Amino acid sequence: MSIHEQEGDPLNDARVLIVDDHKLFAEAVSVFLEKSGFTVVGLAHDGAEALAAVGRERPDLVLLDLNLPDCDGLSLGARILERRPTTKLLAVTAMTERSVVAAAVEAGFHGYLTKDANVSQFVTSIQAALSGQLSVPHGLVTRRRSEEEATADLLARQLTTREREILRLLAEGAASEEIARRLSISANTVRTHVHNVLTKLGVHSRLEAAAFAVRHGLVAQGRSWRSRA
């Protein structure tokens, strides 16, 4: 008997969608979840497939990789919740940056799992998310907001006006081609600006930069923060 094959267990009928571009990992998780009593309604490998599957399958829970080939998971998670607010989101990623964890929670995710989590952690996090509880590994709990905000403001003041525009578009999930088109600049110029943004914010990827911006409200409407000209 699986962990959920008990009469009256409300989690036994939970419908789970797995979104991950690493197909072997997604398939392995699917097999494990099915054996554990969950119903896997589909595997999606990019944002477009995920949105289509959410509309078609109406899952109770989405296991969502935060680094997909066509979009970042934070933006995709927000779009999923717009379409289906009752669906629970559980981030599954290799990233352990605290700013990303915090941004995921603020975006509406019910949990955060790293890909090296053991079987017990997977089950516990899924159960918690389906029950409406927040599950984040203790080692990834964020620092106090007041401390982070002080650092964020100092870093943000280094950005030029154009770099702030780039950061805003990154937070919206825009790809380089879209950024170039919307700002009427070349792809090479976009790459230069993105590199400068990552360097000044002390992050290592576009996703981390987007998470940083969302986490600290740097791209929110009405936010006032100073930068160099």
Mean pLDDT by 10 residues, the chain (229 residues): 43 86 92 91 95 95 91 89 92 83 82 85 87 72 54 77 90 87 93 92 85 72 38
The confidence score (pLDDT) of residue 229 equals: 40
The confidence score (pLDDT) of residue 64 equals: 96
Q: Cα(158)–Cα(209) distance, rounded to whole angstroms?
A: 14
User: Judging by DSSP bridges, how do beta strands 111-114 and 15-19 pair with one another?
Assistant: unpaired
Rg (Cα) of the chain, in Å, rounded? 19
The confidence score (pLDDT) of residue 72 equals: 84
Tell me, which fold does domain 145-215 have in CATH?
Answer: Arc Repressor Mutant, subunit A (1.10.10)
The confidence score (pLDDT) of residue 191 equals: 93
- Residues 205, 96 contacting (CB under 8 angstroms): no
Q: Cα(76)–Cα(66) distance, rounded to whole angstroms?
A: 9
**Neighbouring residues of 222: CB distance < 8 A, sequence distance ≥ 6:** none
The confidence score (pLDDT) of residue 88 equals: 93
Per DSSP, the residues of 133-171 read: --B--GGGPPPPHHHHHHHHHHHHTT--HHHHHHHHHHH
Q: 10-140: which CATH architecture?
A: 3-Layer(aba) Sandwich (3.40)
- Domain map (residue ranges) of the chain: 10-140, 145-215
pTM above 0.75, yes or no: no
3-state secondary structure (DSSP) of residue 16: strand
The confidence score (pLDDT) of residue 222 equals: 33
Q: How far is CA 90 from the centre of its chain?
A: 9
Query: Could you write out the three-class secondary structure of 51-95?
Result: HHHHHHHCCCEEEECCECCCCEHHHHHHHHHHHCCCCEEEEEECC
- Residues 44, 19 contacting (CB under 8 angstroms): yes
